[in-house]
Structure 1
């Protein structure tokens, strides 16, 4: 419930559910580079927060999900520097910190307002449009 409340507040305050726009609004720097196999990473150095995205390996349709996942780390577990995703080996059975970030990403990209504004489409179709991998859809409203 805490994640859903946090997301509702973010969307209300910043008038967007775009993870890149939210990162910018929260002064979290998004940096692109070759991460050597990881699609994304979150890093906190001193008081600055960074989302790192592999611009060579991250599929275009997954950019929002990767950014949303790393934003989840930055906002929900900000003091845990983490690594995420080796190429395509995503696991629904990740550790607690990863689970929180995955839930955050799913709830942000498939937020209740977005779903209610698209009632004529299935949750799976909406997830595909937003780049949410199918195996994570079950985290919606967990």
Structure 2
């Protein structure tokens, strides 16, 4: 699948479900969300025996959690029957799998209004990195 397809999938989900909230989309897509106290990992997507789960670092600020969740939902559209994707400092690695998930996340994140006055430094860094993946 091409990166453009991941942007199209994200836009189709927004149109279908009337939201760009990745946590609501995960619920509609029957993907469980689990919050864990990670020291370094940002998030994790797993699909084991058809049970799709996103693990989110509960130490992250809200906007960063939204960005990580968006990225992990993007992984759910990649063609693997069973998979586990772990993120430590690899969210912005330059490989096809990560680029596709980042395009998906950028499409969701930049389709919303973000109050920049409430952003933490972590949020700002994540958004700056995601901005590189906007296709529009």
Q: Which protein has greater RCO, CA pairs closer than 8 Å, 6+ apart?
A: 2
TM-score, length basis structure 2: 0.78
Task: Count matched residues.
Answer: 125
Taking structure 1 as reference, are residues 108 and 83 closer, same or farther at Cα in structure 2, changes over 3 Å only? same
Contiguous gaps of at least 5 residues in structure 1: none
Moved over 4 A (4+): none
Work out the CA distance in 2 between the residues paired with 1:76 and 1:44: 11
Work out the CA distance in 1 between the residues paired with 2:45 and 2:91: 18
Partner of 2:102: 102
TM-score, length basis structure 1: 0.75
Contiguous gaps of at least 5 residues in structure 2: none
When the two chains are superposed, the root-mean-square deviation of aligned CA atoms in Å is 2.5
Partner of 2:70: 68
Equivalent runs, 1:52-131 vs 2, <5 Å: 52-55=55-58, 57-79=59-81, 80-84=83-87, 86=88, 89=89, 92-111=92-111, 114=112, 131=123
DSSP-derived class of the 1:38 partner = coil
- 1:139: how far off? 1.1
DSSP-derived class of the 2:74 partner = helix
For the 8 Å contact 2:105–2:130, the answer to whether it is kept is no
